[in-house]
Amino acid sequence: MGFAKLRYLTGLSALALTMTACETVPTSNKAVDNNQVAASDNKHQSDKWSYIGESGPNYWGGLRPEYSQCDAGDQQSPINIANTIAADISSSIINWSPFIPTIVNNGHTIEVKSPTGNTVILDGKSFELVQFHFHHTSEHTINDHQYPMEAHFVHKADDGKLAVLAVLFAEDQANQQLTEIWGASPAVIGEITANFTLDPNQLLPVDRQHYRYQGSLTTPPCSQIVSWVVFKQKLTISAKQIAAFSTVFGENVRPVQNTNRRYITRSR
């Protein structure tokens, strides 16, 4: 069953699916078609961090030694974007092509894997798109305003450093790309190769003005290796699309972190 069909379920049926997605590892995954890859049991069982309770964001740093940056780091993400400084930032050069996506439900979010060859050049340095994924609600806030959805396009450079492009979504019209991604996403942990071509450029705002700052992964191990690009212009998402995501994933959001005197620049 496709993810989008969740919207036809109500009450306890939807709740049962939520619990399946979050709390158990399925022994079989009949929800999708024959391209389905078996659920990643080991990954789920070793992923002890979560977004609620004693494995939630306030406790990530103590869960494992390799997560210590989540507590000790002083350049953590996300942040509230405010008091920005206008700067002559070189525009990021995004060179993405359409591809047939592999769509993953990893228990924390929907992740879309990118093939090689999709790049962004930031300050003259090339980073390659690895995957993009979604958070409900937004992780970054703009002047303390939180949006219902945020997409993170994760790019990696040869030296291991990351550039993450963040796109915020405001509630309004449905987004066609999200309809396709939601519709193909497994309802439980697993992955599937889609039967359509996705143009990731359609998930970027037309206006490329953005904010920039240095930060971290917003999930464990919270490594402080990320150049963040947060676009100013928002895309739109419908209430139904938000509900379909939150039915499966709840709120997969790390609270905003202290900026600790970091500079947040904005393109002119």
Binding residues for Zn ion restricted to 146-185, rule: CB under 5 A: 152
Measured from the CB of residue 84, what is the shortest distance to Zn ion in angstroms?
21
Would you count residue 212 as binding Zn ion (CB under 5 A)? Answer: no
The question of whether 133 is a catalytic residue gets the answer no
Binding segment (CB under 5 A) for Zn ion, from list 52-60, 115-123, 144-152, 174-182: 144-152
Would you count residue 254 as binding Zn ion (CB under 5 A)? Answer: no
Q: Which is the catalytic residue, given 44, 108, 140, 155? A: 108
Query: DSSP letters of the chain?
Result: -BGGGGGG--HHHHHHHHHHHHH---S--TTS-TTPBPP-HHHHHH----SSGGGSGGGHHHH-GGGTHHHH-SS-S--EE-S-EEE-PPPPEEE---B--EEEE-SS-EEEEPPTT-EEEETTEEEEEEEEEEESS-SSEETTB--SEEEEEEEE-TTS-EEEEEEEEEESSPPHHHHHHHHHSBSSSEEEE-SS-B-GGGGS-SS--EEEEEE--SSTT--S-EEEEEESS-EEE-HHHHHHHHHHH----PPP---TT---EEE-
Q: Compare residues 152 and 155 and give the one whose CB is closer to Zn ion.
A: 152
Q: Compare residues 32 and 151 and give the one whose CB is closer to Zn ion.
A: 151
Q: Compare residues 3 and 132 and give the one whose CB is closer to Zn ion.
A: 132
Would you count residue 140 as binding Zn ion (CB under 5 A)? Answer: no
Would you count residue 136 as binding Zn ion (CB under 5 A)? Answer: no
Q: Compare residues 136 and 187 and give the one whose CB is closer to Zn ion.
A: 136
The catalytic site residues sit at: 108
Contact footprint for Zn ion (CB under 5 A): 152
